[in-house]
Each structure stands twice: as C-alpha cells, then as structure tokens.
A and B are shown apart, each in its own frame.
Chain A
Amino acid sequence: MSASTTAPRREHLPALPGDDVRQVLWRFADRYDLQMLVQSVRAVARGPVARLVAQGGRHTHDWTPEKHALLKEFDAAGITAAYLEPEEGGFLEGPKNLALALIAFELAWVDAGAATCSLATHLGLAPIHERGTPEQRRHYMSLAAPAPGREPKRAAFALTEPIPYVGVETGLLGGKVRIAEWPEGGEPILEVSKRGRFITNMAFANFVTAAVDSADPRIKGSCMVILEEDDPGIFDRGTPTRKLVHQLSATNDPVFQLRVPASRIVGGYTVQDGVIVPNYDHSAIIEAVFRRTRVTVGLMTSAKLLSAIEPLIRYHRDRFRGAEAVPPGSPRYELGLQQKEDVTHRLIDIWAAGEASASLGFAAARLFDELDPVEREKDRMLAEQGVRGPLAAHKAMRKRQHEAIEFIEMQGHNQALRNEERYQQLAADPVIRYLVLDAQANVLCPATKLWNTGHGSVMMREAVSLMGGYGITEDCPGFLGYKWMDSQLEATYEGPEAVQRRQLSVTMTNEVFLAQFRNWIHEMRQIASVEPGTGACTLASAMHLWLWTLEHLQHARDAQGQKLYQTSRHGVTFPMADALCWLLASRCQILDVENLRREGPGRIQQGFEGTVQFLTDLCHVQAARAAGEVARICSEIVYGYLRHPSWDDSPQCSTCFEEVELRQIESVVPGASGFTSEVYREDGAHDTKAGPCVRAPGLNDFARLRAKLDGCLAGALLAKDRAAESVQKVMIPAALDYPQ
C-alpha cells in the first residue's frame, strides 16, 4: 500500500465569477432570453444610470429631465416590456419572476433607485396582471408596452397613505370609494378619493392602481380601482417625498379626487341585491402582488453586496501603491491591506452573505415561476368542481393538505420502497403540487425580503467600513455609501421587517412546509456525506435544532404559565423567523454550488476547480455563521423563559452539600466533590451567584443537539482561511466597469 506524502494541490479562485458561472448557479444557463436581458439591462445600468449617479443625479429628490431620460433607456433595453406577455407587446414567454429578479439585480448592482423606478411600473401593473379582468389586462398591459412612435403609458401603485392610515397595517384604508351616479340600467360611476404617501413613479405615471375602502352602503368592502390622469376631477401628483435614498426613482405624495366608471374596479364586480360586490378586495390583490414583487426587492440588496467585492479588493490591494516607501514587488505593494487577516476575513463574510442572499432570492423567484402556471391550473380545477370564492377555495385546499404531506413524505423515501403508483398520482395532481409549492413560496418570499435586506444592510455597513473614510464619500468606487443607505429603504418598503416576520411566524408552522423542511434536513445530510466541505452537515444540525425548538415551543410555557408560541408573542415568534431565514439562505447557497459542481464542467472553460472550491468554502463559512445564529436564538428562547432557580427555593437548596460534608466525602472518594452541584458554607451562605445552576431535565435533547451543532462547526474557520487566501490571489479587472 502506498501513501502519498504530499497534500493534494489546492486550487484558488483564479478570477471573479463571471456570467458563465452565475448562469449555472442561478439556473438560467439554458435561458438565452434571460441571458440577453441581463446583458441589455447591464448596459443601461453601467452606462446611463451609472453616469447619472456619478454626475450627482441623486442630489435632488425632484424628478429631473435627466432622471426622466432613463425611462427611455429602459424602454429601449426591453426593461419596460419585460413584464408583458408577447401578445401585449412583451417578448418573454411564460412566467417572469426570474426575469424581473435579474433586472432588479443588474440595475441595483449600480443603483437601486433605478431598479425601483423600473420595477414600480411593473408593480403598478401587477394588480391588473394578477387579478384584472381580461378586458383590463388587454387594455392596460398593451398601453404599457413601448411601441414605435408612442411613449408607453406608465403605471403607479397607490397603497400607502398619510399616517395614521395604511402603511405597516394594510387594512387601515383612508382612501374611499362611493357611488356618484348609477343611471338606470347603466354602469355606476364611482367617486374615488385618496391621498397617497411615498408613491413611486407618481411624478410621471399615466394611471394608478389605488386601494380604497367603501364609504357607501351600495359598495361592499374594499377594492382596487384604476385611476387615469385624464379622468374628471383632481389627479394631483403631489410634492416629491423628501427621501434621502433611492433618488433615481420618483416618489410623491399624491391626491386623487376622481370620477371613474365601475368597470375600473380591478378584477370586476357583481351586483347583488343592489350592492356592488368587487370580485377581489384590496387585501386579496395586494397579497397576490407583494408575494412576488418582494422577492425582487430582496435581490436588490444582494446585488449591492456582491457588487462591493471588486471595488473592495482593488482598494485593499492598491492602498499603498505609489508611496515612496513601498517599492513595487514588496508584499505591501502587492497585497496592501490584504496582508491583514481582519480585512480578508471580513470581506469573506460580506461575500458569503451576498452569495447566500442571492441564492435565496433567485430560488424564490424561480419558485414563483414554477408556481404561477400551477396556480392557474389549480384555479381552473377548483372552478370546474364548482368551488367559488377565496373562502371556499381555502376550505377545499385544507381538505387536501394531508395528501400533500403524504406526497412530501413519499418524496423523502427511497424510490424502491414507496408506492410508486400513488406517488405518481399525487405528483400529477395540480392541487397537490400547488399546496407544496405554495407552502414553500409563503416562506421563501418573506424570508428573502426580510433576511436579504435586513442582514444585507448590516453587511453593507461592513463593506463601507472596509473602504475607510473613502467609503462615505461620493467618490467611493461602486457607490458603496449610497448603496448602504439605499439598503435601509429596501428593508422598509413593500412591507417592513415586522410584517415579514409576522407572516413568517404563521407560514413557517404550516405542516406542509415543515414536512418539506424535514426532507431538506435529510437532503443536507446527503450532500454532507459526499461534499463535507460545503458545511451542509453544520447546516443540517442547525436545521434540526431549529425544528426541535419550534416543536418544543408549540407546547412550552414560560415561568408564568403563558404559552410561548402565540401570535402576539413577538419575542418568541420573530426570532424564530429570523433564525429560519439564516437556514434557508445557507441551504439555497449550498444547493446552487452543488448545481455548479454538477453542471459546470461542460460549461465553464477554465478555472472550474478553483471557483467551485472557493464557493464551497463560502458555503461553509455561511453555514457556520447561520448555525451560530440559530444556536444563539434557539438557546435564548428555550432557556430564556425559564425562571432562574434561587437559593430561596427550598427544593433546590435541599440538594446542596455542606462544605464540611464535602471535605469528608473527598477524603474517602478523592474527586467525588466534582460530581456535586451546589455547596453552602459553614455560615450557611452560598457562592456569590443568583442561585443554583439551572437544570432542565426536559431539555436534554436540546442540550444534546446544541452540543452536536457546536461540534459541527469544525473546519468552518479553516474554510474561511482558505477563502481569504483566495481573495489575496484572485485576479480582478484593471478598473471598475462603471460608470461607462
């Protein structure tokens, strides 16, 4: 038997991951339509958008002609039409969530305000796209398409109102709709009054989809209506919002007082006993809209993190070049600040977080692409079965939930051992597929919005700090200071962090989701058995700990006997939601790198080994960080609501040994005192601490899982060291490619 005395040669990351790598990671290597869209958007982002930022276009919150000119660039590059169907003037077939995610990512690489500006048009159209009548869809979507010789009509979405009305709480609508006229046998004319706040695109929008509540007994509930700039009445665009960030998007506080026909109610209406009943209330519409658009917002922050890597490396390397005392060829000249471990390690943290958040966001976008046609198919099937209305549909779906769980459990079984016929039958059922995908989407969407923007903004601050004072100047390459500030808005709009946490705290306890989560733990274990360097083992242990904690919390009570996991107990539910986000992001990152490992060799021409090795190390770093967060959160919650034992508790103190007694035992059995817990001295006093050490007999499993997880962190910092070494050696472009 021969043994090698030399370690296998380690490949380093040769160059920054390019389009070929990203296409495989984010699964659009076979979608040339998306690849072209990316190139097209990139040219706009790094050209006109970057030039405008560099020229100081962000220094005013007014909508200037220079900012307005970007809209034409968006039109020409296909950004405006990307949301539309081919028959409406678009050019992309099928669902468009991934396409919009890529657009947001590319624009936000340079400026997220520009991304918001482009996406706000899609947001304005989304209520019509998701819930509009066929006539509404045909009319407004076609108007929004750029055409030769005609400017497209642009949309805005008006939900938010001045305080105290709709904002975080979307149910508190101040906007009202009443019937102005109802001619005999004719269409009712509505009078809509609404004041908006922080409404994007309002400086130039030609029509608005506005959420309003009924102020008339002849209209039931709330709805969304389409308001056009030429409608009779007041269409006041209002003053620009004095926001500090996202200055390349137009944000105003408008006022509307308009008369419109009832056919403008999004999704149509019926008349029942002389009352107009909208087919969709405003909540149903915004739920359908936001669950898709929030993903793109999350990806904006991911783009910022990844865009910061190249300027940071260049800054660190070049930091001392040109100084008389630093000759070319010296380590200080070649590596600059990269000689310091702190610099490279912190950069790795930013990079790993950026990769994980991008993986999570794109996974969510792809999931919605998969979900969209299944949802339509499910709706069709329910309609065929005579199920009408959201409540009836919800009831019908709940009845099938156990079958969805059965299907998921079968997915986790060995193919040879399961009932294949039953499995295929369930797999072919659109309702089952919908339940499975929907349960995932209801978690991935808020997780992307919450974690990508929340943790992303923390890491952007880190990126800015790694640039020193340069980071908070207008001259900072990559506009990092602007990006840091922008990320705070991304964490807020389309539902701030509390809203996402609230949603997650409900959706993550859905049994259909949890059944999938159990399979995912197994999936990570399998990956770990083949590729232990990914950190999948660490992650699986962290997932197990989180799941145990969640199940424990369902029946656990605090020291006062109050139930721990309940809606209003944000101190329990919200941190658990946060912890889940860390796990999901890390899982998606590992799955993406595994996909690259499988699919890459035929597509990546050079540097494959080094690239995969580096990205694998980033996975390990991120998995360890996620595991640490989960362990901290779970431990705090599991133990934090137990009352600390006190010396005054007689049952506890009765187990204490007297000091003299212990000395006697020690003389007979040396070392035995090590097995005792608490001691009191001859004067009856105890050690200076709060009370006896905590013992929690019912939590032994938790302690075991926690100890196992701690052990699973082995190797994580070695991975970080390797990745940091790669960062010192990686080849970067000679100059940043924007502004062009």
Chain B
Amino acid sequence: MNYQIIVCGGLAPDPLQTLEPVFDTVNPSLRNELMLPFVFDPWAAHALYEAGHLAKQRPGTTVRVVSLAPKAKLQQVMMTVAQKLPFELVALDGPGGGFTDARAVAAALAEAIASMPDLDRARLLLFGGWESATRGAGAVMQRVAERLGIREQFLAVDELSVAEDGSLLIKERIEGGRHQISRCAGPPAMLAWATGSLPEPPNHPQTGMANMRVILPALQKAKTVTLAQTAEYLRAALPAAVRQTRVVKDVPAAEIARELAEWIRQ
C-alpha cells in the first residue's frame, strides 16, 4: 500500500539568535522578528524526515508539506528544507512564531488540507511535530486531526513500521522513559512525532532543484491567512539567567556536585 502523507510544519527562529520578547497584550512578538533567520521547526522536521523515509520504502507514496508562516521567510527556509527529500508544498501566508493561537492555526491547516482536491482519506497519514520549538504547547496536531475527522491519533511518536498485513505499528513515548507500542489497522491516522530515530538527511541540491519547480509556484499562490487572536498575554519574558560565583579551595568533587544540585533545585 502507498500513502498520502501530509506533514504540518511551521517555522521557528534560529535558536542561536538573540530572542528578545517585545511585549504587547494582544500581539506580542520578538525583537526584529522578521529579520531573524528562521529554521523549519525541528519537531516538524523529524516528522518530515520520517515521511521521506516511509515514502522511499513505499513506492507511489506522496509527501506534502503544509506550512503556515510568513511567505518570504518560508521561501528562505525552503532553500534548505527542499534539499532534504522530495515533497510538494502547500503554503499559507500568515503569522508564525510562538504567539499564535493553536486553535486558529489548526483551523487554517485543517481547512487547507480538507480543500486539497485529491485528498484520499483512505491513504492519509497526517504527520507533524508533537510540539514545536516556538511555544511547545503540543496542541495543534490533535486539533487538526479532530477537524479532519481523524480519530486514530498518536502523540510523541518515535517509530513507525508497516506490518505485512498493512497495519501500522507505532511506538509512542510514555512517562518514565518508556515506549508504548500500538497497532493501528491503517490510515487515516495522525502521528505527532517526537524525535524519531532518523538523522537529518544531507543537503542535496539536485533534489532541491527538482522540488523548487513545484515549491516556487506554490509559494506564489500561497493563500493569505489571518489568524483570530483570542488569547491575551499577561507577560512575555525570557527565562532568567542566574549567575552566582563562589571561590572555594580544597573542596571534594562530591561536595561541589552536591552543592550544585542543591542550587539547581532551588
């Protein structure tokens, strides 16, 4: 059996950048947000790599990425992501980042997916990140699945394999550092990926060139999306960095470790 894999993935500012919140009760943002280099959200990227891996094993499988982000940023990011593996893009031009509302984002993504003319629910695997590098609420994928009527939902997925009878074996992370293995009869299903087990594919400009032939037109006809902002923000701040220095002599390593652990617990 081959699949129609749809990967939902947004963008996140490059984590090495200085991320300084600019507070606004309705529309908070980051300082110089649109000047920062962005990356494809790392959680969604894992989902994409797993999708590519599955597509390689199952000839005829297609991979589509649905992304809601500022169009210009998305185009820049695609210059890297498009080199990883073959896929098509459905672009939604709208706000991204950590201050968008999960409900509104899910609605926009679900609408874009539902309106795909060749959507085949019997082959549909909906992939995405379990959470995101922007806010990490972990709420978007379930909402998209619910809106599309997909009841088989798996969170924090680390591995997917297809059994001979076509059923899906899915390994999910659960508490205590353990995994839970579920068997799902088949599509449609939603898999929100944790880190998976695949490395990032190397860049391959030839793949990118082939992808861009369909990605650029998709970017040009990206639908503009306005997200209803229902949340009110009371505060936006970076985690505080605390530095305390004490000069000591002749203290055993174990004692230093105990003291450090105590300090961290505080």
List chain A positions with a Cβ less than 8 A from chain B.
14-15, 18-20, 32-33, 35-40, 43-44, 76-78, 81-82, 91, 322, 603, 605-607, 731-737
Contacts and interface: CB of A to CB of B under 8 A. Distances in A.
A36 B17 contact: no
Interface in B29-47: 31-37
A48 to B, nearest CB: 10
Contact of B209 (A18, A33, A607): A33
A18 B39 CA distance: 13
Given A14-B32, A606-B35, A732-B18, A33 B205 contact: yes
Contacts of B70: 605
A38 B203 CA distance: 11
B32 A77 contact: no
Given A20-B76, A36-B205, A734-B16, A15 B32 contact: yes
A76 B204 contact: yes
B216 interface: yes
B202 interface: yes
A605 B34 contact: yes
Interface in B1-25: 14, 16-20
Contacts of B243: 322
A733 B13 CA distance: 11
Contacts of B36: 15, 18
B212 interface: yes
Given A15-B36, A32-B212, A322-B243, A737 B205 contact: no
Given A605-B73, A607-B32, A32 B203 contact: no
A19 B72 CA distance: 11
B209 A91 contact: yes
A32 B35 contact: no
> Which 3 pairs of residues, A with B, have the shortest CB-CB distance?
A606-B34, A78-B205, A40-B203
B52 interface: no
A734 B209 contact: no
B129 interface: no
B18 A91 contact: no
Contacts of A76: 202-204
Given A18-B37, A77-B203, A733-B16, A39 B32 contact: no
Contacts of A15: 32, 35-36
B80 interface: yes
Contacts, number: 93
A561 B29 CA distance: 73
B35 A36 contact: no
A683 B213 CA distance: 92
Contacts of B82: 36
A18 B19 CA distance: 16
A731 B37 CA distance: 13
B21 to A, nearest CB: 13
Contacts of B67: none
A516 to B, nearest CB: 35
Contacts of B33: 606
B208 interface: yes
Given A18-B36, A35-B79, 17 more contacts: A15-B35, A18-B37, A32-B79, A32-B212, A33-B209, A35-B76, A40-B208, A76-B202, A77-B202, A78-B205, A603-B72, A605-B70, A607-B34, A607-B35, A731-B32, A733-B14, A734-B19
A682 to B, nearest CB: 75
Interface residues of B, number: 32
A36 B209 contact: yes
B83 interface: yes
B16 A605 contact: no
B204 A734 contact: no
B206 interface: yes
A602 B73 CA distance: 13
A19 B202 contact: no
B72 A734 contact: no
B184 to A, nearest CB: 35
A39 to B, nearest CB: 4
A125 to B, nearest CB: 18
Interface string B63-98: 000000010110010011011000000000000000
B216 to A, nearest CB: 7
A76 B83 CA distance: 11
A81 B204 CA distance: 11
B203 A91 contact: no
Contact of A78 (B18, B20, B76, B206): B206
A36 B34 contact: no
Nearest to B205: A78
B205 A20 contact: no
A733 B17 CA distance: 4
6 contacts: A14-B32, A43-B203, A605-B70, A605-B73, A734-B17, A737-B16
Nearest to A89: B206
A147 to B, nearest CB: 12
A20 B82 CA distance: 17
A18 B203 contact: no
B205 A37 contact: yes
A694 B218 CA distance: 72
Contacts of A77: 202-205
Contacts of B80: 36, 39-40, 43
Contacts of A39: 79-80, 83, 203
Contacts of A14: 32, 35
A606 B208 CA distance: 27
Contacts of B31: 731
A732 to B, nearest CB: 7
